[in-house]
Amino acid sequence: MNNLEIRDVKVILTAPGGIDLVVVKVETNEPELYGLGCATFTQRIFSVKSAIEDYLRPFLIGKDPRRIEDIWQSANVSGYWRNGPIMNNALSGIDMALWDIKGKIANLPVYELLGGKCREGIPLYRHADGVDEIAVEENILALMEEGYQYARCQMGMYGGSGTTDRRLIATMYEKSSKIVPKLSPKNSLPGCYFDPEAYAKSIDKLFDHLRSKIGYNMEFIHDIHERIPPIEAVRLAKKLEPYHLFFLEDPVAPENIEWLQMIRQQTSTPIGMGELFTNVNEWKSLITNQQIDFIRCHISSIGGITPAKKIATFSELYGVRTAWHGPGDISPVGVAANLHLDLSSTNFGIQEWTPFNDALQEVFPGCPVVEQGFAYVNDKPGLGLDIDEVKARKFPISGGIPSWTLARTPDGTAVRP
């Protein structure tokens, strides 16, 4: 393989789980040697496709796929401006595919190339939602029966507003019956309405119920999803302290991270942050100043495995753990990338898990498996899974913008989702 080169780069759009996915296939001049990567940015799927086909593909053809670091660094600055989610997702698809190729050349799983296993299985958390405390409790008990030891507890999804948009996590959730939102003015524009203050007042009651009924042998997580004003986030983090959350996710928007210092000064509730970050440097001050406990990172939005491993190692030096984003709108290829990083990181914290349906497992043979709340990857070379392009074409994408992103408060103001 002395003259190994990238021969072609293909973009595969498919939606076997009902959610639009972007998969990258990097082919080489070596017969049957190719790699797969995840470049899914569901809300801008065609822009990512164009970024790969029109810019990265001609940039990559003829290059040696083994030179992952050089390709990542040069591709990252090839447009001069950098670190936007469209180009980062495009770059992530390439980066994961190159690691997949590297593993196949070495005849080793990617986790071996990242330092080897730190654990055999990866503990997961699942989403437990419900219209009220009783429904959430029942869903947690069902997860416990399956062996899960961690659950993200929401009441009426984000902000209590529920969702009928299956392009978020392929599931519909009813509104919280415990929240009576404020009235809206006449002629209000369409959107996903929620009441931040009413939602914030309901959450401590949820966890008071859950701890009294389930106890402390189950770890609980809650996602604010940046849906309340920063001062409300401070107050809520303090109110939740007695219930010993595993972590409180995204209490403030990326634009308001200065408020994390105030939260840290007033409560010991652990904080997970960064789902919407697109540059690893956005975590730097939060990690070095001990203002967060978990990096809540969407790996494809920062550019793939290469930067994710670096930020994980940097976090380890400061006692901060990983909690990679694992929603329905990443492909099984992206899930596999998460898990290979989980296996090889000593500062692993927890892994979010969205189950695969039958169609996803058919389109992506070799998907990771789950037993008793733990995920396991296979030991095949590379990332360990493949794509059936014929079957992938049977599940066309829908395109467009998911409705859940148009969040509004009761007076009709468009706010962060």
Give dist(CA 397, CA 407) in Å, integer: 23
Give dist(CA 335, CA 328) in Å, integer: 10
- What pLDDT is recorded for position 167? 67
> For 62, which DSSP code?
T
With pLDDT > 70 as the criterion, what percentage of the chain qualifies? 99
Tally of helices (H runs) and strands (E runs) in the chain: 15, 16
Give dist(CA 388, CA 231) in Å, integer: 49
Q: Is 90 within 8 Å of 39 (Cβ atoms)?
A: yes
- What pLDDT is recorded for position 144? 98
Evaluate if residue 16 carries a pLDDT over 70.
Answer: yes
Give dist(CA 234, CA 251) in Å, integer: 8
With pLDDT > 90 as the criterion, what percentage of the chain qualifies? 94
- What pLDDT is recorded for position 170? 67
Evaluate if residue 390 carries a pLDDT over 80.
Answer: yes
Q: Calculate the average pLDDT of the chain.
A: 96
Give dist(CA 16, CA 40) in Å, integer: 13
Evaluate if residue 297 carries a pLDDT over 80.
Answer: yes
Evaluate if residue 381 carries a pLDDT over 90.
Answer: yes
Evaluate if residue 76 carries a pLDDT over 90.
Answer: yes
- What pLDDT is recorded for position 172? 79
For 45, residues 6+ apart whose C-beta sits below 8 A from its C-beta are 13, 20, 22, 397, 399
- What pLDDT is recorded for position 416? 86
- What pLDDT is recorded for position 250? 97
- What pLDDT is recorded for position 164? 77
Q: Is 376 within 8 Å of 348 (Cβ atoms)?
A: no
Instruction: State the catalytic residues.
Output: 158, 225
Rounding to the nearest 10 degrees, give the CA dihedral for residues 177, 182, 185, 188.
Answer: -40
Q: Which residues of 266-305 are buried (b: 16+ CB within 10 A; e: fewer)?
A: ebebbbbbbbbbbebebbeebbeeebbbbbbbbbbbbbbb
Give dist(CA 76, CA 92) in Å, integer: 10
Q: Is 290 within 8 Å of 264 (Cβ atoms)?
A: yes
Residues 174-233 have pLDDT tens digits of 899 999 999 999 999 999 999 999 999 999 999 999 999 999 999 999 999 999 999 999
Evaluate if residue 359 carries a pLDDT over 70.
Answer: yes
Q: Six-digit token pair at 354?
A: 């969205």
Residues 113-172 have pLDDT tens digits of 999 999 999 999 999 999 999 999 999 999 999 999 999 999 999 999 888 776 677 677
Mean pLDDT of 350-368: 97
Alpha-carbon distances, residue 177 vs 131, 162, 181, 296 (angstroms)? 5, 10, 10, 29
Give dist(CA 11, CA 53) in Å, integer: 7
